[in-house]
């Protein structure tokens, strides 16, 4: 009879970013010679209850506890939420973009923070996406920072999209802030917003008394290949997240050669220190000012920005992440 698989990865996968991160992590383990089965969590009908953060976490944590299991030497939960209510049976580790200690503040997050302390205390290892997330996680479990790999995706010489934004979750991504900044800057340019259908975007903005400004277009949800192609054609990528658990889209936009114009969003925002180092004037709570600076950046300066962005992303490249998995993750799991 075949023996157990080395790693069972319990994948909550509630967003495209989480699914991509899980797929990359599993592929990295396999490339390091470790067998890995991905156990996808099915939310089911209870997903309709996910209207408030505390209830959402409960629904998803319970769904993760019901996820199918395989005989494995060690289990890795792909988010803190997936680990919160697990029945412990054998060694496990936790991978996450942001811990509840950071992104579940206040009374409504009390139960998640308590459950997180218990869950992480028993983990063999923690694999945060960023150093900031790892530093904020409670407990003394050893941790290895493992970014989601960012492929080289340099764009072409033709930058025919003036500005690009993502608003899959319009409240979290600050679509209202982006629109108000675009209106205030009044550029004679085009802003393309992906991740949200035009009807839904206009309805969401309308409830807040905001009329979409001149020059804005809504492209709706797009496949990842199309998103990377758009980022490779964009002069700037505009972000106004009210909270940022990591910021994959911002890192991908930088990799594709877009200038990152952003508010200093709170959270373990991995691209923020890079953006500040590259061009501090493009990082401002006054997004309209930063936007005007980005759109008016001279061509030679923009070319230098892109070169320095590529160098800053070296730790995120697939080969660098693969070394972390082979030399850090595998031994931490006890599989070396």
Closest CA to 57 of 35, 79, 87: 79
Q: How far apart are CA 74 and CA 71, in angstroms?
A: 9
Q: List pLDDT tens digits, range 145-156.
A: 999 999 987 766
Terminal alpha carbon distance of the chain: 23
Task: Quote the CATH superfamily of domain 161-315.
Answer: Glycogen Phosphorylase B; (3.40.50.2000)
CATH number for 5-149+317-332: choose from 3.40.50.2300, 1.10.150.120, 3.20.20.210, 3.40.50.2000. 3.40.50.2000
CB atoms within 10 A of CB 252: 26
> 153, 256 in Cβ contact below 8 A?
yes
> 85, 65 in Cβ contact below 8 A?
yes
> 241, 268 in Cβ contact below 8 A?
no
Domain ranges in the chain?
Answer: 5-149+317-332, 161-315
- Residue 192 pairs with which residues in a beta bridge? 164, 217
Closest CA to 261 of 276, 248, 246: 276
Q: How many residues does the chain have?
A: 336
Backbone angles phi, psi at 260, to 5 degrees: -90, 110
Q: Which residues of the chain have pLDDT under 70?
A: 1-3, 44-51, 155-157
Instruction: Name every residue whose Cβ is closer than 8 Å to that of residue 62 and which is 6 or more positions away in sequence.
Output: 46, 85
Tokens linked to 235: 């002069």
5-149+317-332 and 161-315 agree in CATH topology: yes
Closest CA to 98 of 63, 55, 62, 53: 53
State pTM to two decimals.
0.92
Specify the pLDDT at position 307.
95
Specify the pLDDT at position 79.
95
Maximal CA-CA distance, the chain? 68
Between β-strands 216-220 and 234-239, what pairing exists: parallel, antiparallel or unpaired? unpaired
Specify the pLDDT at position 45.
59
In the chain, beta strands by DSSP E: 5-11, 36-40, 72-77, 92-96, 125-128, 161-166, 191-194, 216-220, 234-239, 259-262
Specify the pLDDT at position 157.
67
- How far, rounded to the nearest angstrom, does the alpha carbon of residue 93 sit from its chain's CA centroid? 20
Q: List pLDDT tens digits, range 130-146.
A: 999 999 999 999 999 99
């Amino acid at each position: 009879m075949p023996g157990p698989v080395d790693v069972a990865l319990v994948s909550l996968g509630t967003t495209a970013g989480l699914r991509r991160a899980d797929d990359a992590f599993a592929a990295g383990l396999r490339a390091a010679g470790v067998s890995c089965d991905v156990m996808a969590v099915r939310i089911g009908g209870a997903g309709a209850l996910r209207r408030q953060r505390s209830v959402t976490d409960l629904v998803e944590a319970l769904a993760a506890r019901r996820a199918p299991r395989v005989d494995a030497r060690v289990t890795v939960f792909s988010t803190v939420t997936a680990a919160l209510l697990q029945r412990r049976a054998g060694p496990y580790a936790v991978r996450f973009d942001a811990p509840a200690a950071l992104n579940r503040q206040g009374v409504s997050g009390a139960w998640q923070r308590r459950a997180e302390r218990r869950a992480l205390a028993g983990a063999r290892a923690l694999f945060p996406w960023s150093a900031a997330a790892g530093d904020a996680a409670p407990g003394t479990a050893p941790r290895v920072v493992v970014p989601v790999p960012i492929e080289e995706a340099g764009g072409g010489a033709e930058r025919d999209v003036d500005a690009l934004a993502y608003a899959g979750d319009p409240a979290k991504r600050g679509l209202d802030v982006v629109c108000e900044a675009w209106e205030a800057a009044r550029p004679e340019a085009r802003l393309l917003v992906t991740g949200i259908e035009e009807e839904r975007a206009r309805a969401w903005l309308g409830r807040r008394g905001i009329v979409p400004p001149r020059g804005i277009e809504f492209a709706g949800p797009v496949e990842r290949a199309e998103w990377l192609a758009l980022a490779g054609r964009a002069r700037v990528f505009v972000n106004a997240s009210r909270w940022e658990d990591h910021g994959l889209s911002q890192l991908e936009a930088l990799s594709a050669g877009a200038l990152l114009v952003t508010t200093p969003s709170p959270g373990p925002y991995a691209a923020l220190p890079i953006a500040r180092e590259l061009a501090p004037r493009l990082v401002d709570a006054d997004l309209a000012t930063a936007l005007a600076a980005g759109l008016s950046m001279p061509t030679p300066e923009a070319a230098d920005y892109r070169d320095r962005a590529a160098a800053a992303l070296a730790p995120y490249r697939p080969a660098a992440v693969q070394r972390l998995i082979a030399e850090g993750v595998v031994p931490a799991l006890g599989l070396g």
